[in-house]
Structure 1
């Protein structure tokens, strides 16, 4: 049974917009790029309250980018990881690599530290690090993903939580 966390999505989107409006930029320097979009994550098997080996597959789309580079207006990223996860794993700190694919055919390799926290009814996952190669190499990067908190009943349901949709903001300076 596929469990989706979409209840209250409109409220989350409004809160996300407010959070992004007051969020500080990655550093004091000028923005080289700022992108908004979504991140869809599928979990197999689903997340439950018990830690188990899970494959998390993420597809990120950033259809709206303002950049310092002529013609760069959107980006995407995708990937998967297999790890020991449970419903609280979004709040753990870990490191990783993500590659942004820009609409002009170039890429940016992002090496990050991921942290997570709960703010009211939202889970905020922040990726902070550096673009280590490709377009915008040397930039500081911050990606903030926000979703509704995972509900206890969703985590207890047969099959657990198999999908989470995040709203995303990327800032490169």
Structure 2
């Protein structure tokens, strides 16, 4: 019978325990069970869940030193459900940013962002959001909170949670790689106040 070194077994146990905790945390955040869940503030007007996603590319790829780069972003939301707009099933957002100085360090920073979503019903929603980023293990979690400033659901609060692999971002910030693109799963909650 082969003996397993207790140190190896201990490391494996720590790794598996940590992995299980990270997966549980990610699922809880994406399910809206986190402390910023929009459901706590009012009636849920609309929600979009996975496989909703966001894909962003950087040209040229980001490094840890600021350089001129352009972003291109595409969001696909769905399935979406809404009690107040029964025909709402999906949405999208896309933009190509301007050429400006960027680095991968800004991916971990906070800031304000405005997003315009086009819904399958033909309506649009403009959202003014504050963005915060945390890294939990190998997962980068971006939380955007704010309000719908115009269009469908105007006046409602919004919580958007994006989860993506953090490996490339962390390597880039350490000067050991670049970030050419980010793929994130997305959960969005729009709540009337």
TM-score by length of 2: 0.75
The structure with the largest helix share of the pair is: 2
> 1:81 and 1:153, CA in 2 relative to 1: closer, same or farther beyond 3 A?
closer
What is the root-mean-square deviation of aligned Cα atoms in Å? 2.2
Number of the residue aligned with 1:33: 46
The answer to whether the 8 Å contact 1:90/1:125 transfers is no
Worse overlay, 26-35 or 136-145: 26-35
Number of residue pairs aligned between Structure 1 and Structure 2: 161
For structure 1, the 5+ residue unaligned runs are 1-10
Higher relative contact order (CA 8 A, sep 6+): 1
For structure 2, the 5+ residue unaligned runs are 1-19
> 1:43 and 1:18, CA in 2 relative to 1: closer, same or farther beyond 3 A?
same
Choose from 3, 6, 23 the match for 2:34.
Answer: 23
The structure with the largest strand share of the pair is: 1
Number of the residue aligned with 2:93: 77
> 1:153 and 1:95, CA in 2 relative to 1: closer, same or farther beyond 3 A?
closer
Number of the residue aligned with 1:113: 130
> Is residue 165 from structure 1 mapped to residue 183 from structure 2 by the alignment?
yes
Q: Deviation of residue 151 (structure 1)? A: 4.1
Report the structure number with the largest CA radius of gyration. 2
Number of the residue aligned with 1:8: none
d(CA) in 2 for partners of 1:74, 1:13: 26
Equivalent runs, 1:56-135 vs 2, <5 Å: 56-68=71-83, 69-82=85-98, 83-135=100-152
